[in-house]
Structures are given as C-alpha cells and as structure tokens.
Structure 1
Amino acid sequence: MEWRDMPQIYKDDMWKIIESKFLIEESRKEQIKSWIMTDVNEKWKSYKNELKSAGFDPLLIVDEMYEKINDPRVDKEQFHVLVEYWRSEKGEV
C-alpha cells in the first residue's frame, strides 16, 4: 500500500497521538503537520523496503516468507496483501 492510499483515519489518529505528546505552536501547526506527514511517508517506504529485503522470495509461499521475517510488528493478513502487491505488475517496478 502506498502512503497516499493509506486510509485518512489512520493518518488522523497518528496526528492526534503526536499532538498529545508535543506542544505545537498553533501558528505553525499546519506546516509541522505537513513536514511530519512527509517524513512518515518516507519512513513507510523505508519500512516496506526493509520488509521486502528481509523476507520476499518469489520462490516461497506467503506463509514461508512471513515466518522468514519473524517480526511481531507485522500483521500476517497485512503481510499477505503486501506480498500480493509485490507480485503484481505495479509492485515489480
């Protein structure tokens, strides 16, 4: 899933958590939010790249790849969707 396709509710929830942890000047809130969302987008890309490097093998079935990455932060169902994307024409680019 691309960051732009991430459901807005997840982005909103993330922003609420950030606001609860930091004092953000009201006059700079939109600027800071934009910067943070851009940064999270880059982190999201990097994380997917790490997952693919650690576990993707076109010769394995999805469950074998999931076991190979052995990361408790990764939801099995979401990993299946990600592997389907990696195996698609769009994901092979």
Structure 2
Amino acid sequence: MGTIARNNDFCPLGFKQWTSFPTPRKEDIWNLGKFKIDNKGRKWVLSLIGKKWKDYKSDLKAMYYDLVTPDEAMRNYPNKVPIDQWQILVAFWNSDEGNVLSLNYID
C-alpha cells in the first residue's frame, strides 16, 4: 500500500489532504486488483493508503523543504517527484493555509 501511496500517477501530491482526493481516483486505486481483500475492507485499505500518502508528503517536506528557502527547494527537488507536483507542494507549504495545516499535524 505504501508503494501505491508513493506512486505519483496513482496518488498525485497536489491534493491538500486525502479527503480532497476525488472519489473516482480512489475507486481507480481500489480497482487496481492488488488487494485480495473483501469489499468490506475497502474503507480500511483506502484509509491506510491515505495515511501512507500523507506520511510520504511529510517525509518529502522534512527532507527537501523544511531546512531551505522555497527557492532552494524548487532548485533541489527529488527526482522521483514530477516538477509540476513539486511546484504545487512547495507553493502550498509556503502558504498560510499550508503552515496552519502543518501546525495541526505536530504531535
């Protein structure tokens, strides 16, 4: 499930939160056929992928954004992330909304 969550084609990084992912996209993920789980487990599987996706974004932020300026983050981004998705992430992390959301995730 973590592999799916880190796949930029299945789970693009431009969404602010997993809850903002369109339902058809979540259906596509469920229908990949990778899960040998009864349909009753669908909600749990998608929720776990959502958590892995959020953790992945958090890891990227810690490794490539938190200790540098937004301009440096744009010049030194991870190769595994498409530039258009990285631009969206950096712009969001640099926004007031992104800062408030990040503060809400601090333990």
Taking structure 1 as the reference length, the TM-score comes to 0.76
Match of 1:10 among 25, 30, 33: 25
Cα deviation for residue 6 of structure 1 reads 1.3
Identity fraction in percent: 30
C-alpha distance in 1 between matches for 2:78 and 2:30: 29
Q: How well do the aligned residues superpose, as a CA RMSD in angstroms? A: 1.9
More helix as a share of residues: 1
Aligned residue pairs: how many? Answer: 84
Taking structure 2 as the reference length, the TM-score comes to 0.67
C-alpha distance in 1 between matches for 2:60 and 2:95: 17
1:76 lines up with 2:87 in the alignment: no
The structure that has the greater radius of gyration is: 1
Match of 1:90 among 90, 93, 97: 97
C-alpha distance in 1 between matches for 2:21 and 2:73: 23
C-alpha distance in 2 between matches for 1:22 and 1:46: 21
Higher relative contact order (Cα pairs below 8 Å, separated by 6+ residues): 2
Question: Any stretches of 5+ residues in structure 1 without a counterpart?
Answer: none
